Amino acid sequence: MIRRRLPLHALYPAIETDVRERCPHAPTGGHNGTLALWVKGRSDMRFAVQELPLGDRHLRAFVEVSWHIHRGDPCWTPPLRGELLGSRLLGLTGLFTPAHPYHRNAEVTHFLARSGGRLLGRVSAAINHRFNAHHGTKIGFFGFFDVVNVFSVAKALLDSARSWLSARGMRAMRGPGGYSTATPEPYQGVLIDGFDTPPTVELTHNPPYYAELLERYGLRKVKDYHAYWIIPTGPDNPG
C-alpha cells in the first residue's frame, strides 16, 4: 500500500519571550491575588485577573473557559473534564489536582480573567524542573491559553504568567501548550492555518486571532509543528 502525503494542513509554532523585561501591570502577590483592570475600547468594561493555585475550587471555572471561547466552532474538540479535574467514578487523577504525578517535579499556577460572571480568558504558568535540569535552561512555560479577542485581556493574562515565572528565576517564557511544551506533550503551539478542519489526535485548535494577539504581545517563533493529511491508496482508493 502506498501512502500519499498531501500539502501542508497546518502549522503549530511554539513561541517564547524573555521574562526579564518589566511587566508593569502584572500582579506580584501570592496565591489568589486579584488584579483589576479596564478593557479599553469595549465600553470600558472592567475585568479582574485572579490567581488560582493548584487545587483551588475555582479551577472548575478555569476549565469552563474553553467552552465559552470555542462555542459555535464545529471543529473544536472539547477536552475531558475528568482528565483535568479528576473523576472518582472513572478513577482519574486530574492534572489540576495536587495528587497528579506531574507535580512531583514541577511548580504551577493559573490565572483566570473575568468580568462579573463572564469568563474572558485563562492561562497557566509552569516550571518543569526536570526539563530545565536536563537541558540546562531556565525556561518557564505558559499554557491552557484561551481568551476573547481583546488584547488588553490577553496582555493581562500573559503579564501575570510572565511575572510569576520571572519571580522564580526563569529567563524565558515559552508556549502555548499544556503545562509545558516538552516534545512528547500534546496540544502544543498555536494553530495558524487549517481552521476549517478538526484537529487530529493530540493537536491543538484555536480561533484565528490567537496568533495575532501573541505576536502583538512580543512572542516570537521557536519552532514549527506540521500536520499532514495522509490518504492511503490501493485497489479501493486509487488516489
Q: How many domains does the chain have?
A: 1
In a 13 Å sphere around the CA of 72, the CA atoms on its Cβ side amount to 3
Tell me, yes or no, whether 218 lies in a domain: yes
Tell me, yes or no, whether 238 lies in a domain: no
Angle at CA 237, nearest 5°, toward 233 and 239? 65
Looking at residue 90, what is its pLDDT? 85
Looking at residue 32, what is its pLDDT? 38
Confidence of residue 199 (pLDDT cuts 50, 70, 90): confident
> What are phi and psi for residue 21, nearest 5 degrees?
-70, 155
Looking at residue 3, what is its pLDDT? 29
Looking at residue 13, what is its pLDDT? 52
How far apart are alpha carbons 64 and 144 in whole angstroms? 11
> Cis link prior to 176 (omega < 30° from 0)?
yes
Tell me, yes or no, whether 239 lies in a domain: no
Tell me, yes or no, whether 201 lies in a domain: yes
* Three-state DSSP class for residue 5: strand
Tell me, yes or no, whether 123 lies in a domain: yes
Range of weakest confidence among 42-46, 66-70, 124-128, 157-161: 42-46
Question: What does pTM read for this prediction?
Answer: 0.81
H-helix or E-strand spanning residue 85: helix 81-85
Tell me, yes or no, whether 28 lies in a domain: yes
Q: Look up the domain containing 112 and give its range.
A: 2-233
Structure confidence by residue, pLDDT tens digits, 155-193: 999 999 999 999 999 999 999 988 886 555 667 888 998
Structure confidence by residue, pLDDT tens digits, 14-50: 566 665 543 333 333 333 344 444 444 444 568 999 9
Tell me, yes or no, whether 113 lies in a domain: yes
Tell me, yes or no, whether 138 lies in a domain: yes
For a pLDDT cut of 70, what percent of the chain falls above it? 77
Whichever domain contains 84, its CATH number is 3.40.630
H-helix or E-strand spanning residue 114: strand 106-115
Residue bearing cell 479577542: 149
Contacts of 42 (CB under 8 A, 6+ apart): 150
Confidence of residue 215 (pLDDT cuts 50, 70, 90): very high
Structure confidence by residue, pLDDT tens digits, 131-142: 999 999 999 999
